Amino acid sequence: MKTMTCRELGGPCGEALSAETWPDMVRRMTDHVIANHPDTAKEMETMHNDDPEKWGKEMRPKWESTPEN
Ligand SMILES: [Zn+2]
């Protein structure tokens, strides 16, 4: 299990999100952003339409370097 904050994943708040795997974390962050930050969700959608790999490429190394807890 790893824990990262919304902010570490490019979001605007400090809420901690935990997941077992990277795809799971992506889902959690996506749900969290849609539920709490509609403006950020829109920005991420635009970014995704522009380059579907961009967010993952930027955020995945942070996931990899986060220690298991
Ligand atoms: Zn947040």
User: pTM for this one?
Assistant: 0.92
The pLDDT of residue 11 is above 90: yes
In terms of residue numbers, what domain contains 30? Answer: 2-65
User: For residue 67, what are the contacts with CB-CB under 8 A and spacing of at least 6?
Assistant: 2
Q: Which residues contact 64 (CB under 8 A, 6 or more apart)?
A: none
What beta strand segments (E) does the chain contain?
2-5, 16-19
13: left (phi over 0), alpha (psi -120 to 50) or beta: beta
Distance, CA 40 to ligand 1 centroid (Å)?
Answer: 9
Question: Model confidence at 68, in pLDDT bands (50, 70, 90)?
Answer: very high
- Looking at the 3D structure of the chain, how many domains does it have? 1
In a 3-state reduction of DSSP, which class is residue 35? helix
Tokens of 10: 């490019």
Q: How far is the CA of 59 from the centre of ligand 1 (A)?
A: 15
Which residues have C-beta under 5 Å from ligand 1, the single-atom ion?
Answer: 6, 11, 13, 15
67 Cα–ligand 1 center, Å: 21
Is the confidence at residue 26, as pLDDT, over 90?
yes
